[in-house]
Structure 1
Amino acid sequence: MITSLIHQLQHYPEALLAAFPPVLQDRLLGVKVSALDGLPLFPYQEGIDSLSRGRWPEATRHESGCLLEIKFRNQPDLLRRGKEGVSRLFLGIRDYPGEWLLDLPLLEMLCKMQDLTPDF
């Protein structure tokens, strides 16, 4: 899902982002992907490479993330007195291996059995 979002934003002229006004109104100017908070960079390119070979991307094994800088033209309005400008939206994405989320109830159950308190 993260791979798809990044790909759709980076290829916005051909993308189907019907619910995103900057795309609908032809105001999206570009997207930059960078690291987030010292985490390893989300393996976007590996996911795209797998999909282009007709294979589903491998499950993530470690926490990773990315910071998307979405640049778009503002709509002129009465408050700006018709002036157009450029805005940036920063979207931080953290990817956790799905197994972590599935294991939280099990961890809580094990802690109760051992009379411990989980750290989450």
Structure 2
Amino acid sequence: MSGEGVDSEGMSGEGVDSEGMSGEGVDSERMSGEGVDSEGMSGEGVDSERMSGEGVDSERMSGEGVECEGMSGEGMDSEGMSVEGVDSEGMSGEGVDSEGMSGEGVDSEGMSGEGVDSEGMSGEGSGQ
């Protein structure tokens, strides 16, 4: 991993095109913090095949104000995703313990935006 602006196969802080994850504004195969078009997930405003934090048109779910096949809104316990502070199997916006991804400060199996200890990747300040 690196602090920022890195093209690595693993993770980077922000603005990185990696196969894994990055903090924000990244086109990765998995996840990113925000504003990313990835196959996996992103924090917000992303068109991903899976999930995003908010305002996203994804195949599954998004945080809020989204036309998705799954779920949207906020603070809910859904099998898909929620905006914030939710324990869902899918993803959530922020501060959530989900199997999928979350926006920030989350311990998820997938990824999170920043300051997270996840099996996958996080944006910045994570213990990996």
Shared fold, TM over 0.5: no
Q: Give the structure, 1 or 2, with the largest relative contact order (CA under 8 Å, sep 6 or more).
A: 1
What TM-score do the two structures reach when normalised by structure 2?
Answer: 0.24
Structure having the larger proportion of residues in helix: 1
What TM-score do the two structures reach when normalised by structure 1?
Answer: 0.25
